[in-house]
Structure 1
């Protein structure tokens, strides 16, 4: 019996077979080509005069008293949103190398994919074209405050208490200058920020946002990625049952394919938020990416189950 054959009475699982050299090479080429298509489409895009991005800049500039301060916060928002997408692309490039390593990867592909997804969700959270400019600033304020809390925790470990107070004072003053109001709970702890009546939390729920923002053609993936990243036995034990002829953990084609599909969906999600926010003309790029995705999926399925 080959590894891709199941005993009689058992349901065959698509791509639940060990990773072959031919499959790994094709998979990494697909991922690289898809990434390059995404990068090229964004490099060639120009802002639309009616894009929310330009309207929000105009609104900020014309805001009495706090316009300059909000402009600085808005510049930081654009910088960290772009940095998050660049971070996602960096992890994709690492994933391209991981797929073809020897011995084949077991769970590292899904762990890297989780990093791609979370970076894309962070970027999409700030670029989201469906929200108002005020809510966008409130979200940025919340994320900034949350990051200072993480920095404060690190500074405490390093016994750098003076830096904690200095950073906290700087962030507090910067947000006060923007006319941004802190939202507090009954104990006085900051739980979010309010900008012109629009309220946001300090952070976002990753699982919920992944469920609501990723393309509909992809099933909800976050629990799967978390199982691999946290080393949960319900997930990792699977790698011991892929092949009964080998000892230890064995990577399977299904894991690599899952990683590729989630990466593709994450980049598409960011492209759609960029299209809506900056007014990029990406319809032709989306059509090309969809066709490429369909064709390569069939090709990779065939390669995964082809005898060595």
Structure 2
């Protein structure tokens, strides 16, 4: 199948995608995803010491009507985080199919992996085990306001001014009922919320959280994924190096491996967050994930550089 030009040094995965490698890479990712899904499906309720129980108990002890309002906000937080996790898994399934398509992909696996990463980062942002319940609710309040601003901008474009006013009033009242205090800039624009003395911005720094929250074995993948997603020439021009003189873009096994590693790191981060916030005993599955990842990298190298 694939051979490096005579005299050229062999670099791991720096070869065009071949059929055998694509099939094995897709199956590897599928097995990894199913391992994650299986372990979470088999978990029982949160442990007695889990942060989620602490948060619920704190909200239950909050005097009315603030307690009920915060309970609703926490319910929204649980729903949004769960939706983010499901969205991440949906993109993992899409990546499994994209890897084996014909003609072979060029940059799309990195773009899909970026979607997996961002969904897992949002999930982790809301469920981060070490933060206080007040900060968790403040983060949810900020995200709700930020998403409401996006919805309002769309409604204005569609000339839905009445819906804009109703939505703004509803969110403002709901957060006021939670005793969420808006932080404002010098010109009066809301920049975040404070709950029980814990403040959060409207959104989070994706690059910073990628650096701080992903496993140490994957150093800063966000720049590469973003370069592909935004179609930047510094990134996309590489695909012509393996192509013909006519400038045809050729997908590289290294690109697929980067997508796999970024996706696996995102899922590992998510599993650790599940474990931390709900107190699930997932040490065994995390060890299995690590062993599988290390084994698959060596195995896929053989398929990527196979010759016939």
Three-state SS of the structure 1 residue aligned to 2:35 is helix
What residue in structure 1 maps to residue 138 of structure 2?
138
**Any idea what the Cα deviations from partners look like across 1:42-85, whole Å, max 9, x if unmatched?**
11112111101011101101101210000000000000000000
Alignment map for 1:49-198 (pairs within 5 Å): 49-65=48-64, 66-198=66-198
Which runs of no fewer than 5 residues in structure 2 stay unpaired?
Answer: none
Write the distance in 1 (CA, Å) between the matches of 2:2 and 2:251.
Answer: 13
TM-score by length of 2: 0.96
Using the alignment, how far apart are the partners of 2:6 and 2:232 within structure 1? 27
Q: Which moved more, 1:13-22 or 1:100-109?
A: 13-22
Unaligned runs of 5+ in 1: none
Size of the alignment, in residue pairs? 306
After superposition, the C-alpha distances for 1:231-276 in whole angstroms (9 at most, x for unaligned) are 0011111001024478511001001010000000000101111101
User: What TM-score do you get using the length of structure 1 for normalisation?
Assistant: 0.96
Q: Secondary structure at the match of 2:191?
A: strand
Q: Secondary structure at the match of 2:192?
A: strand
Structure 1 residues 185-224: Cα deviation after superposition (integer angstroms, max 9, x where no partner): 1111000000000000000010110110000001110000
**Partner Cα separation in structure 2 for residue 256 and residue 236 of structure 1:** 14
Q: What is the deviation of 1:3?
A: 5.7
Q: Is the 8 A contact 2:4 2:15 kept in 1?
A: no
Deviates further, 159-168 or 69-78: 159-168
**Whole-Å separation in 2 of the counterparts to 1:7 and 1:73:** 63
* Secondary structure class of the residue paired with 1:117: helix
Q: Distance in 2 between matches of 1:220 and 1:244?
A: 31
RMSD over equivalenced CA pairs, Å: 1.4
Give the match for residue 27 of structure 1. 25
Aligned pair partner of 2:34 in 33, 36, 46: 36
Contact 1:3 1:243 in 2 (8 A): no
> Quick check: 2:106–2:250 contact (8 Å CA) kept in 1?
yes
Question: Equivalent residue of 1:194, what SS?
Answer: strand
- Match for residue 294 of structure 2? 294
Change in 2 beyond 3 A, CA 1:196/1:180: same
Distance apart, 1:152 and its partner CA: 1.1
Aligned to 1:268: 268
Q: How far apart, in 2, do the equivalents of 1:302 and 1:135 lie?
A: 47
2:141–2:175 Cα contact (<8 Å) kept: yes
CA drift at 1:4 = 4.6
Counterpart Cα distance in 2 of 1:182 and 1:27 = 48
Moved over 3 A (4+): 243-247
